[in-house]
Amino acid sequence: MTNIAIVTGGGRGIGRASALKLAAAGYTVVVNYTANEAAAKDTVSAIAAQGGKAVAIKGDVSQEADILALFTAAEKLGTLKVLVNNAGVMDHQNRLDEMSTERIRRILDINLFGSILCAREAVKRMSTKHGGQGGAIVNLSSAAAYHGAPGLGVEYGASKGAIDVLTIGLGREVAAEGVRVNAVRPGIIDTEIHDSSGIPGRVKMMRDAIPMKREGTAEEVADAILWLCSDQSSYVTGSIIPVAGGRC
């Protein structure tokens, strides 16, 4: 049986690290991307180089048609067992009263709407209620879900707060159907997402505010994601795990 793991935004950052670890654990990984085809293909090549299997599939998670096409393509490859709802964006540092409606909509469409629709499609395929064999969904929350990201992007914080609620609610909704739904809540992780804040050197700037006095790596977050996808966490659902060097 071929077990499939879909990682949205799997070409870069935390998504790439998760794709590599899931492939090493034996999954055939669907590396979703939206713009950076080269990064997605590089992730697929890196997986092949370590002896694993992966395909890159383009799709914008803010577009329902793209999500449906992504899941249809994935189910042709095997049985969907894992969804990592990783694709996420932030925007330039701003107060809410300076934000355009388009910006707010974009952040919510990608971070929240995309994750909810991907989770819906995953449950349709994984839940024993629908004839599925069970599986694991891992959502990407953020420390911003509880500190709110004031002055930086409260719409981003709100999108991640909603991810926490999605995780708790859906985790309970499908708990008896073989599907576990959890989230990781990264703190400051060294990826390219911080470039979009427009604050040069943001990651280094934040070090003092982190009890461990360092940023995290994408691999450290991916290790928690991998655990949540594995049988080692078989009694864990509706949980949100901080991976934040003690910051949350």
By C-beta, is 122 or 127 nearer to ligand NAP? 122
Residues 181-210 that bind ligand NAP (CB under 6 A): 186, 188-189, 191-193
Q: How far is CA 214 from the centre of its chain?
A: 22
Residues in the chain: 248
Residues 65-94 that bind ligand NAP (CB under 6 A): 86-89
Asked if residue 14 binds ligand NAP (CB under 6 A), the reply is yes
Q: Three-state DSSP class for 203? A: helix
Q: Rounded distance, CA 121 to CA 35, Å?
A: 22
Of residues 70, 74, 48, 44, the one with CA closest to residue 58: 70
Asked if residue 117 binds ligand NAP (CB under 6 A), the reply is no
Measured CA distances, 171 to 12, 135, 230 (Å): 27, 12, 16
Q: Rounded distance, CA 211 to CA 214, Å?
A: 8
Asked if residue 60 binds ligand NAP (CB under 6 A), the reply is yes
Asked if residue 245 binds ligand NAP (CB under 6 A), the reply is no
Q: Rounded distance, CA 134 to CA 61, Å?
A: 23
Asked if residue 12 binds ligand NAP (CB under 6 A), the reply is yes
Q: Which residue has the tokens 């604050």?
A: 199
Among 9, 132, 153, 238, binds ligand NAP (CB under 6 A): 9
Per-residue burial over 107-145, b if 16 or more Cβ lie within 10 Å, else e, is bbbbbbbbbbbbbebbbebbbeeeebeebbbbbbbbbbb
Residue 211 C-beta: closest distance to ligand NAP, Å: 16
Catalytic residue among 33, 146, 156, 235: 156
Whether 156 sits among the annotated catalytic residues: the reply is yes
Residues 133-162 that bind ligand NAP (CB under 6 A): 140, 142
By C-beta, is 36 or 133 nearer to ligand NAP? 36
Cβ proximity of 240 and 248 under 8 Å: no
Asked if residue 44 binds ligand NAP (CB under 6 A), the reply is no
Asked if residue 39 binds ligand NAP (CB under 6 A), the reply is yes
Q: Which residue has the tokens 């997986």?
A: 47
Stretch in the footprint of ligand NAP (CB under 6 A) among 30-38, 49-57, 91-99, 126-134 = 30-38
Q: Which residue has the tokens 């934000």?
A: 99
User: Could you list the active site residues?
Assistant: 156
List residues binding ligand NAP (CB under 6 A).
Answer: 8-9, 11-15, 32-36, 39, 60-62, 86-89, 110, 140, 142, 186, 188-189, 191-193
